[in-house]
Amino acid sequence: MQFRPSLQRELLAWTLGGLVVVWSAFIWFGYLTGEHEADELTDGHLASVTSLLLAQRATAFTSQPDAAALSNPSLKAHDYQHSMSVVIWDRDGRVLARTGEAPLPDFGLDDGFQTVALGPKQVPWRMFVRWNDGERERRVAVLVPIEERDALAEDIAEQVATPGLWLLPVVALVLVLAVRRGLRPLNQLSEQVRSLEVGQALQLKVPPHEEFQTMVKAIETLSNRYTSALQRERDLANEFAHELRTPLASLQLHVELLKTAPPDAMPALLQRLDQDAQRSAAVIRDLLALARASRTQLAEDAASFNLAELVRQVAADYGDKAYQARHELSVCAPDTVMLRGYSSLLEMALRNLIENSLAHTPPGTLIEVLVGTEPVSIEVRDTARPGAQEGAAHEIMGLGLGHQVVQKVAAIHGAGFAKTACPERAATGHRMGPLRDIAS
């Protein structure tokens, strides 16, 4: 089974990945902040004890030969209680009092916070040293082991960071549920699109979210165009089957007659065969024109063009043919009539109408091509001259499909196709209009 990317999985991966990175950074900075604040807390404790001792009277301090006894574990009442050591000197450097396990520091150390290594093993201690105010009669040093301070800092940092580690899975689970819930409309729309069948009418339940409107509109447009194309294909197949049945049957009949016909009947049969072949060619040409109209509407973009100039060019192409058939062909159009649409389809429809007039009207007929502006329209009008012979018209070669082509082109441009008449001039014609601009 081929693995396919999933928008939901990708979105969850990026969201959870970003969450882990940001959350880890917060936990790390929280850990560092916890350590820093624990160090600050220890230094503040040292300074507080020093200030408390300096506030006592000088006679309150006596030397304790067994100073380590004051740090008995039984005196510890809190987890964060430090095992502090205290040294008090007089102005001459004599030790007035001393408690705790710390080795005796040098009297000449600078005042303030500092880290010193004491004893034979050079164990690091955090120390705060200060003179009393005024006469500088006493000097107090308060010490705490660096190991104990770091242990306290680590413990506080862990207490700060641990809730973040516990909350990370909870927040991740909430994000997963939120993403799945947020993508539910997209999943539902995907299921609807997946369940569509060929030729089925589109019935999508559009989500109310603004982001889906463009996508749903595109899906509906694509589905409608596909359904229309499928219907046109079926109609075209039916037209081919229906319209070609008669000329092909006639061709087959005359071919069979040729096999047994006497020599004097050959010319008439050959003439009928030629007419049937021309009729079949005309039918195929019109059917292909219908197919081209459908394909152009689906595959090409509409463009702006000068309709009046197009009409004049098409009419000029039929000048020689009209002259040979003893017809008069004229154009009545303004200089410019701009239209947005398919110029190739309108040219095909106009040629169809002109060829229809040249083939179906007697010699001497005036064929006028009229271009209207308000509204935009095209009309091909036939005006019979007095004395024209009706029987002189050319024989109809098509089966009416030409008008279906024109009607299709007119419908693409939002126009109708109808027959017109002008009794006072004995004129008849066909009109496409009003032609409307096709949107982009």
From residue 187, alpha-carbon distances to 196, 218, 366, 394 in Å are: 15, 17, 65, 64
Q: For the CA atoms of 305, 309, 311, 313, what is the dihedral angle to 10 degrees? A: -120
pLDDT (0 to 100) of residue 311: 92
pLDDT (0 to 100) of residue 369: 92
DSSP 275-308: HHHHHHHHHHHHHHHHHHHHHHHHHS--EEEEHH
Where in the chain do CATH 3.30.565.10 domains reside?
300-433
Helix (H, G, I), strand (E, B) or coil at 419: strand
CA angle 127, 128, 133 (to 5 degrees): 155
pLDDT (0 to 100) of residue 68: 45
Which helix (H) or strand (E) segment is 144 a member of?
strand 138-145
Q: Is the dihedral of CA 316, 322, 323, 327 positive or negative?
A: negative
pLDDT (0 to 100) of residue 240: 65
pLDDT (0 to 100) of residue 392: 41
C-alpha to C-alpha distance for 341 and 412, rounded to whole angstroms: 9
User: pLDDT 10s per residue in the chain (440 long)?
Assistant: 466 777 778 888 888 888 888 888 888 887 788 788 878 888 888 888 888 888 877 666 665 544 444 445 554 545 556 678 888 888 888 888 888 888 888 888 888 998 888 888 888 988 899 888 777 788 899 998 888 888 877 887 777 778 877 888 888 888 888 888 888 888 877 777 777 666 565 666 767 777 777 777 777 777 777 777 777 677 766 766 666 676 777 777 777 777 777 878 778 878 777 877 777 776 676 667 666 666 665 556 778 999 999 999 999 999 898 888 889 999 999 999 999 988 888 888 888 889 888 888 888 889 999 999 889 999 999 987 765 554 444 443 444 567 777 888 888 888 888 888 877 766 788 999 899 888 75
pLDDT (0 to 100) of residue 198: 60
pLDDT (0 to 100) of residue 103: 87
Could you tell me which CATH class the domain 300-433 is placed in?
Answer: alpha beta
Q: Is the peptide bond before 434 cis (omega within 30 degrees of 0)?
A: yes
